[in-house]
A and B are shown apart, each in its own frame.
Chain A
Amino acid sequence: MTDTAIKGVPAEDDPRSRVPLAEPGTGLTKITDTVAGIAERPETPKAWYVAFTIALSLLGVLGAMLAYLIWNGVGVWGNNNPVFWGWPIVNFVFWVGIGHAGTLISAILFLTRQNWRTSINRFAEAMTIFAVACAAIFPGVHIGRVWLAFYLFPLPNQMQMWPNFRSPLLWDVFAVGTYATVSLLFWYMGMVPDLATLRDRARHKVRRFAYGLLSLGWTGSGRQWSRFEKAYLILAGLATPLVLSVHSVVSFDFAVSQLPGWHTTIFPPYFVAGAVFSGFAMVVTLMVPARQFFGLKHLITMNHLEVMNKIILTTGSMVGYAYAMEFFIAWYSGNAYEKFAFINRAFGPYAWAYWTMVSCNVISPQIFWFKKARRSIPIMMVVAVFVNIGMWFERFVITVTSLHRDFLPSSWGYYRPTPVDMLTFLGSFGLFFTLFLLFCRFLPMVAMAEVKTVVPEGHAGHGHGHKEGASHE
């Protein structure tokens, strides 16, 4: 810490020192007590039950809608000529996109040594897995006869057929499948040392058994850590190109076609930036209430939120760059159809969706140029929710505006979702929040072992003096 502050420069912007990542006085003991304490609380708070009931009811809605869909066929959706890709793919891309922030925070920020990530990575990784689970529903059920979904995989079947590997839709199966698997491994592996902490603190036999089973016999020995860290580094190294590839492959679903508005080369990086953008917005949306509710403010500080808001501004601007490039090249290409597709987006029957998207995604994050806005809870909540809405609309705009104007004007149409579409989407939030609330209740929400490495006591040369300061005994 420096002795004198520079006038007009807050401590966190002072280049002469780094502010501590957790609030001062947060030692090893306090970290353990705070995080493990949430999972160990003997009585579940009432608010959790209220939230869980709501989430469970929405999950019920999802179940009912899916059952209705499977019984009646996909005709219950609004998908029809010429818009055969309606809300299901919009919801799929929306959820997969949200699932990108987790791996970004755990992998890319790990590789670039952004140590502030330790407070939020577990949370974001969990969010990733639940979002990918929500996403996987939509392609799973849109095929109509769900009991034939195994045709998607290269499994021997009675017709002796194999899937078509030249189709980007099959690439998607592999990309999303790999992503879900690797994210799950990454999440679980990172949690093993923390589960061991919970095991050793557990007083109840059942809890001790359950956490003991999950922690696989972790003792935290030097060799275990050495291999663990290597494996973690490798998984991070693998997850980074993976996270780029997944949304790129999702974008290929659109971009390898020749449809105006879909076929454009910037789609892969543009989709990835958009995915990270929406994922970070979702992390902020969930994190702000969670840190308040579970008393994690000293671990997830305002500085963390400010950095996340900066990333939202950065990725939002990248998305804006891609919008601008698409528009410029639509004109520059001299392709009449391409030009029409973009003019139609901005001024056609779906102009309302387009301008919702632009104002939410490009304009609203620009408020984060101001430091006050970056550090204001109400403003960041509003922007995060706006970004979530805007990113859903982005996928809607891409999917629907390109399809509703066919090359044949006689086929033009206007897509309207049915109540089943809407309730299914709403229900997917039920699944998301049900899983999320269970996670908050029973598993370590913050990566304790990782946070411990970034507090002063986690380094050599800092151990003496204040180690007992926060002891619980």
Chain B
Amino acid sequence: MTPPLAISITDVSKSFGPVQANRGASLEVPVGEIHALVGENGAGKSTLMRILAGMYAPDGGRVEVNGRDVTGWTTAEAIAAGVGMVHQHFMLVPTLTVAENVVLGREPRRSLAGGLVKVLARGRAVREVAELSRETGLQVAPERRVSELSVGEAQRVEILKTLIRGARVLILDEPTAVLSPLEVEELWRVLRRLRDGGGTIVLITHKLDEVIGISDAITVMRAGRTVERLVTRETTPAAIARAMVGRDVNLALEGGAVLGARDAEGLLRSAQDGPPHREGSAIEANVVAEGPHPTPRSPHPALLSVTDLVVAGPRREREVDGVSFELAPGEILGVAGVEGNGQTELIEAIAGLRRVVAGRIRIGMRDVTALDVRRRADAGLSHIPEDRHARGLVLDYSVADNLILGRQHHFTTGPALDRGRIAAHAAEQVRTFDVRPAEPELPARALSGGNQQKVVIAREMGRDFSVLLAAQPTRGVDVGAIEFIHAQLRAARDAGKAVLLVSAELNEILALADRVAVMYRGRFVAVLPRAQASAEVLGPYMTGATGSEAVA
């Protein structure tokens, strides 16, 4: 008799009101496997895993863990049975130490005053956490405050929290979104070690290079269903992408070169060779495939110039600490760096959303440092914000109303909004930018992530502008939309616009940028022409390993 599967999900469905998140989804993961659960946004990956972790009860179907029927169990039961989930958004108490966070809820205690009072046995907690940290290779300093940790460290704390409760099945929801390449590598090492110790890991992701690099097997979800189960060794990125989207996808990260099957296999091979910053990495494979960049850098005056910019932020007084650069027409400047090093503050200061402590911002010849958001927009500034749910869209407004956000004062007759023009504008933008469904009266909330982002892009790029701030333009959107958005950004560059691109995805920066700046602790620690930039070169700058001298 074969040993029972660690996870066996059969024909599970779950709907939230009229939205059917899962419809007959099935998943089988044997013990000791790293399993990637991939799919476009809204394919139902997170829902399925939350059902497994006991957060939701399924409407139908069966969930088994280690051969036991656990359908509809609670999170407490799941934790007791060794199933733990690490969420995209960390759930840590910032004012407590690492050790206190890890043991929270099951603290070792000791008695005081003859058993009248029990208090946290801090020393024991620290020892327990240090021991687990050593066993698993998850390096943390147990006595540091969580508020002082980097995102990567915080994630390690989250994983430790799960493991200390005895998790043998670990679910990670898009764990690499906020990590630097080095931190990703370290996470992979830890996961492999856990697997080799008999742990089972399910990884939710939609990054194909991760899937190829770390997983043993893959389950692809589409529209709530599990459509394919693949063995990683026997498949290709192209095949995975096809299963995700349901059609062929242009995998090339740089325009011009379409990755065919051969290139995709090359990508796969090189990825299997090792982590991205050894020789022949996945990223490099793409770069090699693409050929030289068009470099029509001309001595035009800069469209955007930023001089000695200093911006205060919530964590640091100088979140942006003296940044200067110029953006020429027809240029994409990519800002790489681990998130939280001032990129958000830099973009928001240029957009007029954050007060500038010192420095100048010019659009063309015009000093806009003292102008408000609206006047900067009217001066030719477009802005794709990093968080479309908080900033980029009013989710309860219709697509048509969202398409005028920031330009509402141009769609008026007297004090009233010109509904006719708004509708005509929306119909045109929805068609040009292929927003689906093409119904401008739908609330933005009803659209998929990729289509929501297309609405933002349509609004910011479907008008006259000279400078575009693009912050994480493809975050959380699916492969098809990424392809579309990248094409738009290149088209803007080729049309002579200046683009400032901030992305946590190094691949994206390397694929699009003409120059690459690395931001670390509020400074540009390196600014390199694209030809000199690679993951190997940029990595040390991103982690601050090179000190803080600027490189020209």
Co-assembled chains A and B: no
